[in-house]
Amino acid sequence: MKKILTFFLTMLVSCSVAWGLTGIQTVQGQDTPRLFEQERDGAPVRPLSPERLAELRDPFFNLVLRDHAEVFNLARIEALITANSGEEQTFVVSELIESESPGSSNRPATRRAVLTFSGENQGETLDRNIMMSVFFNANRFPDIQNIETLSWDSQQERYNYYKLDQQGTGNFSWKFRGSSVGAEQLSPRQRVGTCLQCHINGAPVFKELPFPWNNWHSFQDQASYLRTRWPVGQNPRIRTNLRGAEELETNVIVPAIHKFNTTQIEANIDQTSNQGINQALDGQRLLRPLFTTTEFNLISSGEQVGGLHPFSELAPGPFNDVRVPNSFFLNADLIGGNGPAAIQGLQIPEANRFSDAVLVEPDEYRQLIANAQVKLGGQEGDANFAWFTPQASQIDNDWVDQLLTKGIVTPEFVAAVLAIDLETPFLSTAREELLRFIPEQFTFTPLDQQSHPDNLTQQVIAALETENPADGSTAAEFLTLLRSDNPVDILQARVADYRNRLVSLLADPTTRFSELTRLYDLAIAHRQAIRDSRSLRPLDEFGLLFPLP
């Protein structure tokens, strides 16, 4: 129950008598309530208890499942959500989105649609609060199919996950599949078969969140065949409601992640103390996204590779120089700031100047692909857009950015962490091993009263000094950075030195191509690191995401 976007949902179940439901459906010869719960794929399916039902207050439950659990038809479900006042938007994603073939008459090509909603209905705000994942084919949207849904409960500040399928009942039934509560604390083993296997933090997942949205219909790469060649284009979900991934990013996902993070951070802060001094209640949990990689996003150059992509019908590209994304080299969004993703960061401008310095000519890029012998889906070729690479995630960066803007951590502390293993923007074991020095509790003051070293920094320095780390170790480097007068200046100097080194190597004809080869090998290593990660690899569920040798 996963997919490129992986908006994986859960299953809702209820006692029909408790909620006044009139219909009882016969399942395997027994009268069974229409609402159920299922912990994970393959687990027993149970009627939803009255206690569990009382917990469900999200808009999808209130508008659809509470009184209409017998509704399995997609159009009727949409009508219950929007009524006469809401609107629906359709977003399309597929690893095969560059293939315009509608398939054969008896096996039409399929795509995945993410349905979002805006407006209000019966007092429920729809914007960013209900997201559905469904499938359609070249001919139509099936009326009844597996549907995955997530819905935001603003009262309890959590996402609830639901799924419509036939598991465990033999007929279609709605099942509650869990909530976001405690999601980030689960182990990979505990996540197997659950919605949280992909929704690692419990929030919506949009892997290709930044421009140019490699596998999505967007303004940068319009899948025009959906409207012009495929019969399904006459369906209003495509003809009228189709939107680009850029709208999903800015209007839905980025604000939804920000809201989710805000609630989780505030739940970990005691703001009742006097004189503006607040306390972090679980320091390691609060600062974990600064030191570890909980999720990832994907970014690329804005240049399409044309026929280098095995599913494209265009001539081989790329057709212009390839600008290697800044965030391939370092966590540019958090260090330099990223306006479109609403990350303020540390505002070190050099972090956003790498793509201007590292330009790969089309012939050079084609040679890199040929030498690396990368394949996608078993076929030789590259991703849709050049230099497709993982990067630090929006959910992690937004979290850290909120820690900064709320004054929970100082810019100096964040800079000291990011200066460690600077050239490894995600999945850094060096940074991760430093999390153990974070105290359980620490105090912080409002932004205008901050000074370096603050209480957190002082406690971490004391913990490091107690350990007396060996010279040359990561812990010793961290201690030196925290003791310095201005770690931000040190980070800025390291970023500038890093960029200058790249510029020098690429400007020299004798070292240029070997350096480009090293960088592209690093891109492959970044992709492989995701594949090798027990927690992150489920998000590449079909093996069509990354070009690898």
- Cα(14)–Cα(49) distance, rounded to whole angstroms? 6
Q: Average pLDDT over the chain, rounded to whole?
A: 92
What is the band of 301 on the pLDDT scale with cuts at 50, 70, 90? Answer: very high
Q: How do residues 498-519 score in pLDDT, each as one tens digit? A: 999 999 999 999 999 999 999 9
What is the band of 271 on the pLDDT scale with cuts at 50, 70, 90? Answer: confident
Buried b vs exposed e over 317-344: b needs ≥16 C-beta within 10 Å?
bbeeebbbbbbbbbbbbbbbbbeebbbe
Residue 19 above 90 pLDDT? no
* Burial (CB count <10 Å: 0-12, 13-18, 19+), residue 143: exposed
What is the band of 273 on the pLDDT scale with cuts at 50, 70, 90? Answer: low
List the chain domain ranges. Answer: 25-239, 287-539
Instruction: Give the strands of the sheet with 35-37, arranged side by side.
Output: 46-47, 35-37, 173-179, 158-165, 147-153, 130-137, 110-118, 87-93
Q: How do residues 305-351 score in pLDDT, each as one tens digit? A: 999 999 998 899 999 999 999 999 999 999 999 988 889 999 999 99
Give the pairing type, strands 375-376 and 379-380.
antiparallel
Residue 18 above 70 pLDDT? no
Q: What is the pLDDT of residue 484?
A: 98
What is the band of 298 on the pLDDT scale with cuts at 50, 70, 90? Answer: very high
What is the band of 207 on the pLDDT scale with cuts at 50, 70, 90? Answer: very high
Q: How do residues 134-183 score in pLDDT, each as one tens digit? A: 999 999 999 999 999 999 999 999 999 999 999 999 999 999 999 999 99
Helix ranges (DSSP H) in 16-116? 50-55, 59-60, 66-68, 74-82
State the average pLDDT over residues 106-135.
97
- Cα(540)–Cα(398) distance, rounded to whole angstroms? 23
Residues counted in the chain: 549
Residue 107 above 50 pLDDT? yes
- Cα(81)–Cα(76) distance, rounded to whole angstroms? 9
- Cα(295)–Cα(420) distance, rounded to whole angstroms? 19
In terms of Cα–Cα distance, which of 346, 349, 454 is closest to 400?
A: 346
What is the band of 274 on the pLDDT scale with cuts at 50, 70, 90? Answer: low
Q: Between 30 and 110, whose confidence is greater?
A: 110
Compute CA 530 distance to the chain's CA centroid, rounded to the nearest angstrom.
13
Cβ atoms of residues 303 and 211 within 8 Å = no
Q: Three-state SS across 68-85?
A: HCCCCCHHHHHHHHHCCC
Q: What is the pLDDT of residue 93?
A: 97
What is the band of 7 on the pLDDT scale with cuts at 50, 70, 90? Answer: very low
What is the band of 12 on the pLDDT scale with cuts at 50, 70, 90? Answer: very low
- Cα(88)–Cα(117) distance, rounded to whole angstroms? 4
Question: Beta partners for 149?
Answer: 132, 162
Cβ atoms of residues 362 and 221 within 8 Å = no
State the average pLDDT over residues 423-447.
96
Residue-wise DSSP of 409-475: S-HHHHHHHHHTTTT--SS-HHHHGGGGGS-S-EEE--GGG--SS-HHHHHHHHHHHHH-PPTTSHH
- Cα(391)–Cα(300) distance, rounded to whole angstroms? 10
Residue 14 above 60 pLDDT? no
Cβ atoms of residues 227 and 31 within 8 Å = no
> Residues with Cβ < 8 Å from 132, sequence gap 6 or more?
7, 9, 77, 114, 115, 116, 147, 148, 149
Q: What is the pLDDT of residue 299?
A: 96
Q: What is the pLDDT of residue 29?
A: 38
Please state, for a pLDDT cut of 90, what percent of the chain lies above it: 87
State the average pLDDT over residues 281-295.
97
C-alpha distances out from residue 160 to 8, 12, 115, 534, Å: 10, 9, 16, 24
Residue type at 74?
L
**Phi-psi category of 525—alpha, beta or left, where left has phi over 0 and alpha has psi -120 to 50?**
alpha
Residue 54 above 80 pLDDT? yes
